[in-house]
Structure 1
């Protein structure tokens, strides 16, 4: 089995230490999110662990560290921790008095209180999210599911009503095929409603096919800003899991078991080498690979502590060489 070489491990530790002393060194220009006027840090911090794996103090530490490094893009959902994630984010923004500086993305459709995407469910879900977040508007509202039980026109009209009311600034898709994205754009044109500007999808170095086809073409044609979720393959692309014993030691190991094969280990070996060359963590290189791809605005990645945040935000500073990108492309196909 491939192991991290000692000097590579030291390079990652050195990169993490850099984040402790010189956080702003890792800041780079923000990216425009699709055709919106939102400009975001090229890494969205995931709120799926807030209120679940991260308590209030830990969540505050994570968000403070992210903001200190230039981060301004928080990703959550009304279903995360039964809504507690939104509450904790809202409390943090209130305490820090920084709502105007933060781009908040949340998702609707999966919550137990307001399931589905009927017009009524959309309105109720957004009002409930606004209350939990302690804000008057949501910057980016994702449709968390593709609800085939409701006419797409009904959902898109409901979202447009919220945009016109000032409760939502922009919208996006989160679980839709390329064909459904095209359908949404056609409906928007026919009805004169606000088109979606963003796509969140499953995409990373060891999960490429789902996006690199119809979805990528639709995103390019519609100039959607793409925010990959599972960008680190449930921790596999951080180098955390290299043996079956590693999987057994962690409760989330089973989610990465599918990647622990010859291809996955080849990807990790290449990430190890590039991480050593770039003096950053393995996870930062995996995120930098995503950021090199067309239409990718900001991968979504979660952290359970401030140290992890420092490693993740380093991705925004990494400029991979053509050779490094070619090798990562080659071993991950």
Structure 2
């Protein structure tokens, strides 16, 4: 049976529409690796947090049914639910992949080094070697496609962290590595150490980047993406939901559990960005969120913005974004408002 057909066998029956979508979806190469992903990265932070197992399965099924294949999680998701070690998201994803028999069709990214309820940020070799086995067990898989340094403890020598990655790559537990919340200086040091010691190189970058959070990435990390051929997968692509347009005043903050996270955007700049999104979305008869994701996709080095979904409506936003091609006028309106 062809690989595409195995995915479509989720419920024991071949769905030829799904097969066509999987074949047709444009894929993006991650760095210099052999990994190719569809242009949206599904965020797994909601699995085990705002979605239970059944709801998570429904979102995941709908996502792959549309031809997407890239899922992002972390060993610390969702530790804030019970204050313990996290891992709920990885556990749900492992159960889902096993039940659907589609592990070989999914590009699975997870992370190590983040703070949880029981341990601080840690990028030591000892911690990485222990954490990867725990993630593999929860994910019910033999390998992780893309393994991120989630946060940097800024005290472990970068050589030690990379040596840990070298060991688990050679053991077949991880295919490639990437970086998230690491300072530009430590990223530069990591690449120097990789070159000097023939150690694995980071292939992708996961920064905080969106229409209302541009300066940090564009000033400090975009030059490194150019220099090191990073493929960039922005997190908080929709600014915790602010860029969907549903938060227009402080009275709207109680609309979701993430409401408090967007209060800081309710300033002159944030409202100007919403006004621009309203204008462009009305022109294209689409949603503000879809425009926000399409704007990210139009930026240099961006591979697949990370976006989570908890409903059919939110999934539609994700599915429509790769289809929307913003013209120069659209981009000018959005760039002016967001500068």
Distance of aligned partners of 1:193 and 1:113 in 2 relative to their CA distance in 1, 3 Å threshold: farther
Equivalent position to 2:176, from 170, 175, 196: 170
- Which of 308-317 and 190-199 deviates more? 308-317
Equivalent position to 1:130, from 115, 131, 136: 136
Equivalent position to 2:92, from 83, 88, 94: 88
1:312 and 1:261 map into 2 onto residues whose CA distance is 26
Q: Any stretches of 5+ residues in structure 2 without a counterpart?
A: 1-16, 79-85
Question: Could you report, residue by residue, the CA deviation over 1:104-124 in whole angstroms, capped at 9, with x for unpaired residues?
Answer: 000011245665111110011
Q: CA RMSD in A?
A: 1.7
| 1:114–1:121 CA contact under 8 A, matched in 2 | no
| 1:174–1:199 CA contact under 8 A, matched in 2 | yes
Distance of aligned partners of 1:199 and 1:75 in 2 relative to their CA distance in 1, 3 Å threshold: same
1:86 and 1:25 map into 2 onto residues whose CA distance is 26
Given the two structures, how large is their TM-score scaled by the length of structure 1?
Answer: 0.90
1:41 and 1:320 map into 2 onto residues whose CA distance is 19
Q: In the alignment, what sits opposite 2:5?
A: none
Q: In the alignment, what sits opposite 1:313?
A: 319
Equivalent position to 2:36, from 36, 39, 44: 39
CA drift of 1:68 comes to 1.2
Q: Which has the higher contact order (CA 8 A, sep 6+)?
A: 1
Q: In the alignment, what sits opposite 2:273?
A: 267
Equivalent position to 2:102, from 94, 98, 115: 98
| 2:234–2:302 CA contact under 8 A, matched in 1 | yes
Q: In the alignment, what sits opposite 1:233?
A: 239
Secondary structure of 1:105 counterpart: strand
| 1:156–1:188 CA contact under 8 A, matched in 2 | yes
CA drift of 1:150 comes to 1.2
| 1:114–1:125 CA contact under 8 A, matched in 2 | no
Equivalent position to 1:297, from 278, 282, 303: 303
Equivalent position to 1:69, from 46, 61, 66: 66
Q: In the alignment, what sits opposite 1:286?
A: 292
CA drift of 1:25 comes to 7.8
Given the two structures, how large is their TM-score scaled by the length of structure 2?
Answer: 0.89
Question: Could you report, residue by residue, the CA deviation over 1:201-253 in whole angstroms, capped at 9, with x for unpaired residues?
Answer: 10000000010012110111000111100110000000110122111443321
Q: In the alignment, what sits opposite 2:11?
A: none
Q: Any stretches of 5+ residues in structure 1 without a counterpart?
A: 1-21
